[in-house]
Amino acid sequence: MEPAVSPAFEWRQVPAGRVVVAVPLVPLAAHFFSTRDVSHQTRDPDYRSVAASFGVPPRHVVDVRQVHGRDVLVLQPGGESPAAPVEADAIVSLDPDRVATIRVADCIPILLADRRRRAVAAVHAGWRGTAAGVVEATVAVLEQHGVRPADLVAAIGPGIGACCYEVDRPVLDTFLRRDAAADAWFVPAQTGGRWRLDLTRANRDQLVRCGVPAGSIHEIGSCTRDRPDLWHSFRRERDAAGRMVAAIRLRASGLVDR
């Protein structure tokens, strides 16, 4: 089966297996969205393969303990990586030596890079994080470090599509409590009292609202639940689901081909 991703994305083969890169991000920052070739169920080998893909030592691959919130970890140049992952759902990196990573299986992975190369970011946005505005919080932290939203290029990677994501009233209400405009992201489902939620669109709209140009936001256009050949999906695989890694480094020099 031919892997279906939008024309702004390309397949690569690296030590972490098949990965997808966003072509507009390539000149700004080495990065990828992994496929299910990375499982993350066995962390060390997976992170060694992620490190090898960037040509860095494993201790330079930074992850966080994801809690579906809006806290952002900032990596300063020359800083030490935390001994144990800290609680956060996004990483802003000002450090060209380290690789910022988040893990997903249906949640939306978002990678951001600054055209003026001051910083990059990796964001984990499930429904709770999206409702909390995690991508908006990330852009705010980038701004605190001198990045203009107008200079950001964003890649929205593989997550669950509105085709496969039915939610109930409490989810809709959680969004509406924070954001009256959120109903644009929900479409009534066939089943009464349920809605289909478009998390990619929600995150795109939030980025635009922060000042990221719509033309600088690129979507992979592949639903994790629909493609068991490519992606892990928590909704499909439940407790057996692995996690994919989205990774980015503040240095354009490329990935290691395998």
Tokens matching residue 119 = 């910083």
Q: Which of 104, 223, 245, 247 binds Zn ion (CB under 5 A)?
A: 223
Question: Is there binding between residue 143 and Zn ion (CB under 5 A)?
Answer: no
Ramachandran class of 116: left when φ > 0, alpha when ψ lies in -120 to 50, beta otherwise? alpha
Listed in sequence order, the residues at least 6 apart from 142 whose beta carbon sits closer than 8 Å to its beta carbon are: 92, 112, 114, 119, 121, 149, 152
Select from 71-79, 146-154, 204-212, 223-231 the region that touches Zn ion (CB under 5 A): 223-231
Select from 101-109, 177-185, 220-228, 230-238 the region that touches Zn ion (CB under 5 A): 220-228
State which amino acid sits at residue 34: S
| Per-position x/- string for 154-183, each x denoting binding to Zn ion as judged by CB under 5 A, each - no binding | -------x-xx-------------------
Name the minimum Å distance from CB 123 to Zn ion: 21
CA distances from 218 to 65, 204, 213, 235 (A): 26, 9, 11, 24
Name the minimum Å distance from CB 233 to Zn ion: 9
Select from 7-15, 50-58, 151-159, 216-224 the region that touches Zn ion (CB under 5 A): 216-224
Name the minimum Å distance from CB 161 to Zn ion: 4
Which residues contact Zn ion (rule: CB under 5 A)? 161, 163-164, 223, 225-226
